[in-house]
Homo-oligomer: A and B are copies of this chain.
């Protein structure tokens, strides 16, 4: 099975190739080599060892998974690796791994020799449905997450759910947070479909491929309309539903305390609560009910994701408290967020399930309340 979807971006358009079957690693290397490019890889070391042939002579820099690898140091090392191996402007770089590897490798590809070709081979659910598509690349600096990077579109994204076979369950769940996000912000039918599944999605669930593909379609549509997130309202920023909260959580708790998808799960619940406050305040267009919040909450919990700051079912024992986060520190981190414009905090809220908008004028008191209800102090 090989199917294809095009991300339409004029001269920067590219295909997402969906393929199936075992030996995904062998298949993808063969495909990329058919382009005739001299290629090099940055790969998640675990994925590389599990899925790629030992005897392949592809030049590959192995990267440890985890946010710590999205650093200036790893960026520097990767550029030195390409340079000492004499990769020229007509060479290409393959990212093999999750969001961390894709974001890092994308920024390396954008910057090395002022830009070389780039191929995405996402091997986590989160990277397949979100970070590998759309061209956002970047690294973290001390002051915050993804604060340094580039828009750099790949030449091709290769997606095979076979890679998910070896993904740890908490990583699969983390990806589900982004899947649920697409339902909440853009596609009520997808949300309904996820709710109606008799069995939870797993790497070998018969509907997984279609769900992944639908998420990619949504992302492609949104990115096509607003590639560089310059729309004055709505647009690509909608993909950040829950993320203003999530980035603050990750920043204050310390990267790695929560998985990105776990922080997004919490952020989605908080964004739903924020949406209800907009209804209560009589804002026109907003029609989210308490019932809708419960539905979001339930779907997120179903994948053992946290819904407030206190509990992360996969990662701590049920009765173990998460680190106490300070409301002031969280607000401070939000003010440093990239989405801040002219000093105003910007949020994404749901008018209803399947329809989100950007909102610039949320009273700070609401945000304090929401953080407090979530367990911050």
Q: Are B141 and A86 in contact (CB under 8 A)?
A: no
Residue from A75, A80, A144 with most neighbouring chain B CB atoms (10 Å): A80
Bound CA–CA A255/B343 (angstroms):
41
Bound CA–CA A148/B81 (angstroms):
12
A-B contact pairs, 16 of them (CB 8 A): A79-B141, A79-B148, A80-B143, A83-B143, A83-B144, A83-B336, A84-B143, A89-B340, A90-B342, A107-B111, A111-B150, A113-B338, A114-B138, A114-B150, A114-B338, A115-B150
A12 contacts the other chain (CB 8 A): no
A33 contacts the other chain (CB 8 A): no
Q: Is the interface of A mostly helix, strand, loop or mixed?
A: mixed
A136 contacts the other chain (CB 8 A): yes
A65 contacts the other chain (CB 8 A): no
Instruction: Give the Cβ gap from A377 to chain B, nearest Cβ, in Å.
Output: 24
Q: Are A88 and B343 in contact (CB under 8 A)?
A: yes
A302 contacts the other chain (CB 8 A): no
A50 contacts the other chain (CB 8 A): no
Bound CA–CA A75/B72 (angstroms):
9
Bound CA–CA A276/B283 (angstroms):
77
**Given A111-B149, A112-B148, A150-B115 in contact, is the A141-B83 Cβ separation under 8 Å?**
yes
Q: Are A141 and B80 in contact (CB under 8 A)?
A: yes
Q: Are A147 and B89 in contact (CB under 8 A)?
A: no
Instruction: Give the Cβ gap from A65 to chain B, nearest Cβ, in Å.
Output: 23
Bound CA–CA A143/B113 (angstroms):
12
A151 contacts the other chain (CB 8 A): yes
Q: Are A341 and B88 in contact (CB under 8 A)?
A: yes
What 9 A-B pairs are tightest by C-beta distance, nearest first? Answer: A83-B143, A72-B76, A114-B149, A111-B148, A88-B340, A113-B338, A79-B148, A83-B147, A79-B141
Instruction: Give the Cβ gap from A57 to chain B, nearest Cβ, in Å.
Output: 17
Q: Write out, one digit per residue, whether chain A residues 299-320 have a CB within 8 A of any chain B CB (1) or not (0).
A: 0000000000000000000000
Closest-by-CB residue of B relative to A147 is B83
Q: Are B147 and A79 in contact (CB under 8 A)?
A: yes
A63 contacts the other chain (CB 8 A): no
Bound CA–CA A342/B141 (angstroms):
35
A335 contacts the other chain (CB 8 A): yes
8 Å CB interface, A58-72 against B? 72
A142 contacts the other chain (CB 8 A): yes
Bound CA–CA A84/B335 (angstroms):
11
Q: Are A142 and B80 in contact (CB under 8 A)?
A: yes
Bound CA–CA A336/B82 (angstroms):
10
Q: Are B340 and A110 in contact (CB under 8 A)?
A: no
Bound CA–CA A88/B229 (angstroms):
14
Q: CB-CB < 8 A to A342: which residues of B?
A: 88, 90
Q: Are B86 and A340 in contact (CB under 8 A)?
A: yes
Instruction: Give the Cβ gap from A337 to chain B, nearest Cβ, in Å.
Output: 9
Q: CB-CB < 8 A to A114: which residues of B?
A: 136-138, 149-151, 228, 338
Closest-by-CB residue of B relative to A114 is B149
Q: CB-CB < 8 A to A113: which residues of B?
A: 147-148, 338
Bound CA–CA A151/B341 (angstroms):
25
Q: Are B151 and A115 in contact (CB under 8 A)?
A: yes
